[in-house]
């Protein structure tokens, strides 16, 4: 099991965590100053970043190459489904997705991958919002939350919402989105080969996969071919529901964002584990 290293302060619900240039970025549901920036060594709060025209956050990721963070925002009622791009000083731009965006990741080409849960698609954009391509996921990949791309070009996707028949992590061929190469999971449940809403992913340098299992309240480690390796933490190391994860590959820290649900998200924090 991983050991708890530190916890950032409790506050508003957390919708994303990442790091950039020696700082930790935490995205919270607030009207302003939504991004908290902490020093990666002292964990001291350094500053806030404001996200203009923010409505309903879904996820956040970062890109070291371009020195920026990306935030997905999806308020269908307001016809606002977009990506926000912020640099380290807070300069902000945004562009439309034209589908509800969920999970975000950056691939080896330094492009942004946006997982569109309701549409069953992955959309790839340049850092300035130009569309590269759209990948249609297989029809049995219902409610895809997050996708990452391996160095060989294959996609690893976690999918499944409460009430769905299948909750799993699957690897999809780069040549054909119809081809599932490997998978782990299936019928929702509590066993080591089952998930109950696998919500978010992080990938190590050797392409091992960390999977946040929301309602089983844990993180599972899978091999590069999606074979079960071990549980990364026990449920008693968390207070609430884990919803996001970020892996600091250099320092070997796993950042787990967890939030409390009481007829809505009420409180959140980030817990760091050594792995």
Q: What is the pLDDT of residue 179?
A: 83
The chain-wide mean pLDDT, for the chain, equals 93
Confidence at residue 109, expressed as pLDDT on a 0 to 100 scale: 97
151 burial level (CB within 10 Å; 0-12, 13-18, 19+): exposed
When pLDDT is averaged across residues 203-213 and rounded to a whole number, the result is: 96
Report yes or no: 198 and 185 within 8 Å, Cβ to Cβ.
yes
Distance CA 119, CA 177 (A): 14
Residue 75 has pLDDT above 80, yes or no: no
Q: What average pLDDT does range 239-250 have in this prediction? A: 94
Q: How confident is the model at residue 248 (pLDDT cuts 50, 70, 90)?
A: very high
Residue 79 is predicted with a pLDDT of: 62
Residue 263 CB neighbours (<10 A): 5
What pLDDT, on a 0 to 100 scale, did the predictor assign at position 2?
A: 80
Task: Kindly indicate the confidence band of residue 177, based on its pLDDT and cuts at 50, 70 and 90.
Answer: low
C-alpha distances out from residue 57 to 23, 106, 126, Å: 21, 18, 20
Q: Is the pLDDT of residue 76 over 80?
A: no
Taking the C-alpha atoms of residue 50 and residue 30, their distance in angstroms, rounded to an integer, is: 10
**Burial status of residue 183 (CB atoms within 10 A of its CB: 0-12, 13-18, 19 or more):** middle
Own/partner pairs, 258-266, CB within 8 angstroms, 24+ separation: 258/14, 259/13, 259/14, 260/13, 265/13, 265/29, 266/13
Query: Which pLDDT tens digit goes with each residue over 220-237?
Result: 999 999 999 999 988 889
What does the pLDDT look like over 28-65, one tens digit per residue?
999 999 999 999 999 999 999 999 989 899 999 999 99
**Please, which pLDDT band fits residue 78 given cuts at 50, 70 and 90?**
low
pLDDT of residue 264: 86
Q: Of 175 and 221, which is predicted with more confidence?
A: 221
- Reported confidence tier of residue 89, pLDDT bands at 50, 70, 90: confident
Confidence of residue 12 (pLDDT cuts 50, 70, 90): very high
Domains within the chain, CATH numbers bracketed: 13-250 (2.120.10.30)
- Residue-level pLDDT at 77: 61
DSSP conformation class of 143: S
pLDDT tens digits along 146-170: 999 999 999 999 999 999 999 999 9
Q: How many CB atoms lie within 10 A of CB 32?
A: 9
pLDDT band at residue 178 using 50, 70 and 90 as cut-offs? low
Q: What's the average model confidence in pLDDT over 197-224? A: 96
pLDDT of residue 103: 97
């Amino acid at each position: 099991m991983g050991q708890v290293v530190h916890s950032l302060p409790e506050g508003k619900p957390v919708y994303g965590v990442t790091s950039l240039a020696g700082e930790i970025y935490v995205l919270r549901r607030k009207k302003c100053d939504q991004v908290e920036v902490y020093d990666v060594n002292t964990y001291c709060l350094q500053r806030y970043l404001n996200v203009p025209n923010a409505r309903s956050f879904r996820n956040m990721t970062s890109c070291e190459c371009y020195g920026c963070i990306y935030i997905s925002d999806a308020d269908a009622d307001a016809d606002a489904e977009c990506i926000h791009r912020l640099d380290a000083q807070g300069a902000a731009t945004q562009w439309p997705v034209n589908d509800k965006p969920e999970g975000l990741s950056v691939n080896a080409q330094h492009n942004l991958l946006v997982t569109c849960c309701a549409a069953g698609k992955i959309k790839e954009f340049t850092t300035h919002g130009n569309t590269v391509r759209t990948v249609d996921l297989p029809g049995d990949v219902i409610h895809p939350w997050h996708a990452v791309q391996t160095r060989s070009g294959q996609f690893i996707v976690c999918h499944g919402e409460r009430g769905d028949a299948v909750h799993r992590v699957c690897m999809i061929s780069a040549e054909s989105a119809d081809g599932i190469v490997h998978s782990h999971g299936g019928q929702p449940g509590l066993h080591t080969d089952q998930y109950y809403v696998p919500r978010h992913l992080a990938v190590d340098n050797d392409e091992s996969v960390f999977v946040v299992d929301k309602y089983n309240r844990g993180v599972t480690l899978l091999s590069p071919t999606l074979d079960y390796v071990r549980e990364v933490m026990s449920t008693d190391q968390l207070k609430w529901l884990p919803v996001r994860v970020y892996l600091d590959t250099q320092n070997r820290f796993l950042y787990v964002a967890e939030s409390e649900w009481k007829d809505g998200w009420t409180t959140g924090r980030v817990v760091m584990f050594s792995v």
